[in-house]
Structure 1
Amino acid sequence: MKHPPAGTLRRALAAEWTKFRTDATHARLLLGLVVLTAAVGAATAATTTCPAPGCGVDAPRTALTGVLVGQVVAVVLGVLTAGNEYRTGMVRTTLAAVPSRSAVLTAKAVVLSAAVLAAGALAVAGSLLAARLLLPGNGFTPAHGYPALSLADGPTLRAATGSVLYLLLVALLGLGAVTATRSSAAATGAVLGLLFVLPAVTAVVGDPDWQRHLQQFAPMPAGLAVQATLDTARLPIAPWPGLGVLALWTAAALTLGRTALHARDA
């Protein structure tokens, strides 16, 4: 499939950016993503203790617990980036103005990515800052084997960077799902079910080998492995390959959405 001409893509980007920034719902969701992620991370850090050396708590992962909540907002934002146009019928106007459907979907993905990367970076930075201030009072001290959280620490930097990318990928997963289904409700339900129900099913599987394989395949457990900084060798899947599994799910959703967009009328 041919890539859209550069001029067409520029026009599509300008149009999608205008639509995105003038929709107050998008701004509220981005703010909610930042606030909820940082607030839940701070609350978790405030209530987690390390009473003795070797308590075994993964401090960076604890600080980034809010990503579990923030991902819901990211999914909704990704879905609404295209879902609102299907609901109102504005997608016909969009495709009349920019006939290249590949350019439209690419532009939506680029604008969404820029917004979520910025919000995700703020959310993760706020979570780590809150944990840096709160955790020492709960026993996470150098005497217990926990220096202050810092992005200068390689595993912490990987957990932080990976968390931002995780939020980006689940938002794009939502965009791909709604482009394929043309229904915000169906896309939101499908993506959240994939993220949350599949791990619940995995948890009730009795066979340890099957459970491990399912954890390697499920997008949320695999993707969030990137946050782990302790005992990574014992994880069902290594941190970066785990995020790669989520990236494959996202790529599949976007490919399905692009195919559906080309195969049918608006």
Structure 2
Amino acid sequence: MTTPTTPPTPSAPQQQQPAPAPQAAPAGFYTSPIPVRRATLGDAIASEWTKIRSVRSTMWTLGVMIVLLLGIGLLAAVAIDSSDSDLGSTPVLSLGFFGVLLGSICVITLGVMTIASEYGTGMIRTTLTACPSRARVLSAKAIVFFLITFVITTLTTALVGVLQTALIDSAAPSGDEWLRATVGVGLYIAALGLLSLAVGALIRHSAGAITIMIGVVLLPLVLAMFMFADSLNDLRMALFEYSIPNQLSAFYSTSVAESGPSGWDPLWIMLGVSAVALLGAYASLDRRDV
């Protein structure tokens, strides 16, 4: 006779041990793979160089400027050469004056747009967030813009001068004439561009700042032409002598006014005016909200 067997009792399910909680890394032992250092003016200059060369309007504006300098300078030389007329005592390099005067409008436009366009698009908030030092931002913009304008203007005017002296049979320009018609003009136009940049920082509106700068270039000369009263003779002569077109012609030794700035004097005047405007732009950028 067999005895009944009792079924085996199921063993109790084993409880799973909870996984240990991840321990936080001790503070002070994490090292970032990105090097951390203080931002410098060089970093701001690199940033502004990337921005100004990556904007399509910069290339178009500078391209139009180069075309004006080369085109008008060569057209004037070809016209003189084909007519067989004698320049007389007029320096051959002075034929590049009209191209530089029209090309300065492009420099004015680009100088204003370098900073005023960021206020129009709101990009200035991103710029000042990345670089809270507003003086550093404006300094970087001024340095990059000045160097670009100076190099392009100097090289283009030198090329125009070489082509003009090759086409026209006239007295060879002296070393001082070459220096003033290339380096001097390049520095003057670059300083005029800095003045435009400062006005753009003060006005913060592209169209308004460009209009003001075109008025600064042309209005004194236009007003002087319509002042016929004898009582306004002194004012008329002052406006004419210190107008930007007459100052620019002084670099080519073709100034019509008997007195007024000559030689390198227009450059010191423009640098002084630009420095005052930039100081005002620094104060405005530092005190006003964006």
TM-score range, shorter chain: 0.7 to 0.9
Find the counterpart in structure 1 of residue 157 from structure 2.
Answer: 124
For 1:214, the aligned partner's letter is: L
Q: 2:278 pairs with 236, 251, 254, which one?
A: 254
Between the two structures, name the one with larger relative contact order (CA 8 Å, sep ≥ 6).
1
Larger displacement relative to structure 2 (33-42 or 86-95): 33-42
Between the aligned partners of 1:231 and 1:172, the Cα distance in structure 2 is 24
Between the aligned partners of 1:63 and 1:108, the Cα distance in structure 2 is 28
| Shift in CA distance, 10/63, structure 1 to aligned 2, threshold 3 Å | closer
Displacement of 1:155: 2.1
Q: Secondary structure at the match of 1:205?
A: coil
Q: TM-score, normalization: structure 1? A: 0.84
Matched, 1:244 2:271: no
* C-alpha contact (below 8 Å) 1:82/1:179 kept by paired residues: yes
Displacement of 1:223: 4.0
Displacement of 1:123: 1.6
Q: Secondary structure at the match of 1:55?
A: coil
| Shift in CA distance, 245/227, structure 1 to aligned 2, threshold 3 Å | same
Find the counterpart in structure 2 of residue 3 from structure 1.
Answer: none
Between the aligned partners of 1:176 and 1:231, the Cα distance in structure 2 is 28
Matched, 1:24 2:49: no
* C-alpha contact (below 8 Å) 1:8/1:98 kept by paired residues: no
For 1:262, the aligned partner's letter is: D
Find the counterpart in structure 2 of residue 85 from structure 1.
Answer: 118
Displacement of 1:265: 0.5
Larger displacement relative to structure 2 (55-64 or 183-192): 55-64
Q: Secondary structure at the match of 1:234?
A: coil
Displacement of 1:74: 0.6
Between the aligned partners of 2:61 and 2:244, the Cα distance in structure 1 is 22
Q: Secondary structure at the match of 1:154?
A: helix
Find the counterpart in structure 2 of residue 154 from structure 1.
Answer: 176
Matched, 1:212 2:234: no
Please show how residues 70-109 of structure 1 align to structure 2 within 5 Å. Answer: 70-109=103-142
Matched, 1:192 2:225: no
For 2:244, the aligned partner's letter is: P
Q: 5+ residue gaps in structure 2?
A: 1-37
Q: 5+ residue gaps in structure 1?
A: 1-5
Between the aligned partners of 2:199 and 2:255, the Cα distance in structure 1 is 34
- Paired residues in the alignment total 248
Q: Secondary structure at the match of 2:264?
A: helix
Between the aligned partners of 2:236 and 2:189, the Cα distance in structure 1 is 25
Find the counterpart in structure 2 of residue 51 from structure 1.
Answer: 85
* C-alpha contact (below 8 Å) 1:222/1:246 kept by paired residues: no
* C-alpha contact (below 8 Å) 1:162/1:227 kept by paired residues: no
Displacement of 1:60: 1.5
Matched, 1:39 2:84: no
Larger helix proportion of the pair:
1
Between the aligned partners of 1:231 and 1:90, the Cα distance in structure 2 is 43
Q: Secondary structure at the match of 1:227?
A: coil
* C-alpha contact (below 8 Å) 1:79/1:184 kept by paired residues: yes
Between the aligned partners of 2:213 and 2:257, the Cα distance in structure 1 is 29
Select the structure of larger CA radius of gyration.
2
Find the counterpart in structure 2 of residue 11 from structure 1.
Answer: 43
